[in-house]
Structure formats: structure tokens, C-alpha cells
Amino acid sequence: MKGFYNIRLAMLREKNVVKNDFTFSEEERIFILTGPNRGGKTILEQGLGLVSLMASVGLFVTADSCRGIPFRNILTHFPIDENLTINYGRLGEEAKRVREIVTQTDADTLVLFNETYSTTSSSDALYLSEDLLHILKDKGAAVIFNTHIHELAKEIPEMNKWNGKGKIISVIMEIKDNVNTFRVKRAEPDYCSYARNIALKYRVTYEQMKETK
């Protein structure tokens, strides 16, 4: 995909929509996506999924160009309303949906994960995410794994020793001079979600809140 963007931004009449390029290939199938809070990870992931869906059903796409064989399945694992987790608990609900997705996935499937396993500790989320990526690599699926688990990207060299189709790649949402560019690029994560920038914006640092006493 060249110059694609999230159609929702156009529907909201957002100005200065940032376009991105993204490519799945036989050699590169799984992408671990990290980056700053409010850096555009979810908007990018949704946009990629929507362009893939439009291409799969023969519609015009929100991209300058889009080439390749459409995915047969497009599956998503995004956070849901907490009221719907009451019977399983939050982690149980996540795990249940992960299992359902894995059973439906094959090499013609695109799977989009957004903060999967964020309901448990970072150490547990790390090994659960590794197990999930391992089986998806076995199946040859195309995957975007949007996560704040930066340590997961550290394990890419080891994960690429697994059997299965294609390599696992680290991509990040770029930030320059503490400003989000909303552009995706190949790079190792910088292990910072820039939470302080958001805290300053909403005036919830200790110093700022002390001023409002």
C-alpha cells in the first residue's frame, strides 16, 4: 500500500491527514507496532485494516496505490466494553477471543491486535504475546501487533528463529523533537511512551496539580 490513510479521518473532515506506506510480503508477515501515546498507532492500524477490507471486496481504496492478492479473512482483537467481560474477567475475555481468532486464522488471513493482553502484568503479557505470535507465525498469517510491550520487540531475533512463514519486523510511530509525526517507520522501539507529554498537556503532574490547590 502506498499513501494510504484511515477513511474515518476523511469522514471527520480532518485536515492535514498523514499518509503512510505499508507492505506485507512472503518474507515479512508479522509487524510489532510500538510508539508514543497518542502517536497514531490505532488510527494507522484501523486504516490498514479498512484499506485491506475495501480491496478485498473490490472497492476503491483510500490510498494512492494498492497492489497484491486480497486477504480472504480479516480478523481483529481490540479492547471491548468492560461490561461484556463480566462472565470471564478481563483477561479471560481477551484469551477467549484470542483462541477464537487463532482457530480461524490461516496464511490468507490478516489479523489486527490492539493492546492485546493489556489487562495483565507486563511480564505475563510478554510471554502470552510471544506464544500468540509463535502460533501465528506457524500459520503464516499477516499480523499487526500494536502494543506497549516494548520488550517484545527485543525478542524479535529469537522469535525469527522459530519455524513458520516470514519474518517478524519492528515498526514504530515516529516522533521528532517531541512532536508526533503520525508516520510509521521501521525501527527498534525507543522504550518510551512519552506519558509525561500527555501528563503535561492535561496538567496532571505533581507540580501542576499542586498549583491548583
Element (H, E) at 112: strand 109-114
Question: What is the dihedral sign for C-alpha 76, 82, 88, 90?
Answer: positive
Q: What is the pLDDT of residues 197-207, one digit of tens each?
A: 777 778 887 68
Angle ∠(117,121,122) on CA atoms, nearest 5 = 80
Q: What is the pLDDT of residue 209?
A: 82
Question: What is the dihedral sign for C-alpha 179, 184, 190, 192?
Answer: positive
In sequence order, what are the residues at sequence separation of 6 or more whose Cβ sits closer than 8 angstroms to the Cβ of residue 213? none
Task: Calculate the CA 204 to chain-centre distance.
Answer: 27
Q: What is the pLDDT of residue 142?
A: 97
How far is 51 from 114, CA to CA, in rounded Å? 17
Q: Is the predicted pLDDT of residue 211 greater than 90, yes or no? A: no
Q: What is the pLDDT of residue 86?
A: 55
State percent of the chain over pLDDT 90. 69
DSSP assignment, residue 148? S
In sequence order, what are the residues at sequence separation of 6 or more whose Cβ sits closer than 8 angstroms to the Cβ of residue 123? none
Q: How confident is the model at residue 21 (pLDDT cuts 50, 70, 90)?
A: very high
Q: What is the pLDDT of residue 194?
A: 65
In sequence order, what are the residues at sequence separation of 6 or more whose Cβ sits closer than 8 angstroms to the Cβ of residue 31? 143, 144, 145, 168, 169, 170, 171
State percent of the chain over pLDDT 70. 92
3-state secondary structure of 32: strand
Higher pLDDT, 16 or 82: 16
Q: What is the pLDDT of residue 80?
A: 79
Q: What is the pLDDT of residues 68-106, one digit of tens each?
A: 878 999 999 998 765 555 556 888 999 999 999 999 999
Q: What is the pLDDT of residue 169?
A: 98
Instruction: Indicate the fold that domain 7-211 takes in CATH.
Output: Rossmann fold (3.40.50)
How far is 16 from 85, CA to CA, in rounded Å? 38
Structural contact between residues 93 and 130, judged by C-beta atoms closer than 8 angstroms: no
Q: What is the pLDDT of residue 191?
A: 66
Q: Is the predicted pLDDT of residue 189 greater than 90, yes or no? A: no
How far is 198 from 187, CA to CA, in rounded Å? 23
Q: What is the pLDDT of residue 119?
A: 87
In sequence order, what are the residues at sequence separation of 6 or more whose Cβ sits closer than 8 angstroms to the Cβ of residue 185? 171, 172, 174
* CA distances in angstroms from 175 to 120, 154, 203, listed in the order given: 28, 20, 21
Residue with cell 479498512: 50
3-state secondary structure of 125: helix
Q: What is the pLDDT of residue 24?
A: 95
Q: What is the pLDDT of residues 138-181, one digit of tens each?
A: 999 999 999 999 999 999 999 999 999 899 999 999 988 878 89
pTM: 0.88
